[in-house]
Amino acid sequence: MGYKAGFVALVGRTNVGKSTLLNAILQEKIAITSPKPQTTRNTIRGILTTDEYQVIFVDTPGIHKPKSKLSEFMIEVAKRTLKEVDLILYMIEPDTEVGPGDRYIIEHLKGVDTPVILVVNKIDLVSEKRVEETIKIFKEQYEFEDAVAISATQNKNIDLLKEKIVSLLPEGPKYYLDDYMTDQPEKLIVAEIIREKMLHFLEEEVPHGVYVEVESIKEREDKDIIDIEAYIYCEKESHKGIVIGKNGQMLKKIGQSARLDLEKFYGKQVFLDLWVKTRKGWRDNTTLLKKLGYAIDKKTYE
Neighbours of 270 (CB within 10 A): 19
Q: Of 52-56, 75-79, 209-213, 295-299, which gets the smallest average pLDDT? A: 295-299
Q: What is the pLDDT of residue 301?
A: 33
CATH 3.30.300.20 fits 186-291, yes or no: yes
The verdict on domain 4-167 having CATH code 2.40.30.170 is: no
Distance CA(240)–CA(279), nearest Å, equals: 10
Which of 1, 11, 28 minimizes the C-alpha distance to 92?
A: 11
Nearest to 302 by CA among 31, 54, 56, 62: 56
Nearest-CA neighbor of 301 among 6, 48, 4?
6
pLDDT at 40: 45
Matching fold, domains 4-167 and 186-291: no
The per-residue pLDDT for 266 is 86
Listed by start position, the domains of the chain span 4-167, 186-291
Instruction: Give the HSE-up count for residue 45: Cα atoms under 13 Å, Cβ half-sphere.
Output: 21
Residue type (1 letter), 109: L
CB half-sphere exposure, 108, CA atoms < 13 A: 21
Kindly state the average pLDDT of the residues 122-151.
Answer: 95
Residue-wise pLDDT for 40-51, tens only, equals 445 657 889 999
pLDDT at 120: 97
pTM, two decimals, is 0.63
Dist. CA 13–CA 95, nearest whole Å: 12
Tally the residues of the chain.
302
Q: Which letter does DSSP use for residue 223 in this model?
A: S
Instruction: Report phi then psi at 7, rounded to 5.
Output: -100, 135
Of 225, 221, 216, 229, nearest in space to 272 by CA: 229
Percent share of the chain, pLDDT over 70: 81
- Give the pLDDT score at 11: 87
Q: Does residue 213 contact residue 230 with C-beta atoms inside 8 Å?
A: yes
Torsion of CA 44, 45, 48, 49, to 10 degrees: -150
> Tell me: the pLDDT tens digits for 156-207?
999 999 999 999 999 999 988 887 777 667 888 888 889 888 888 886 656 5
In the predicted structure, residue 39 carries a pLDDT above the cut 60: no
DSSP three-state, residue 77? helix
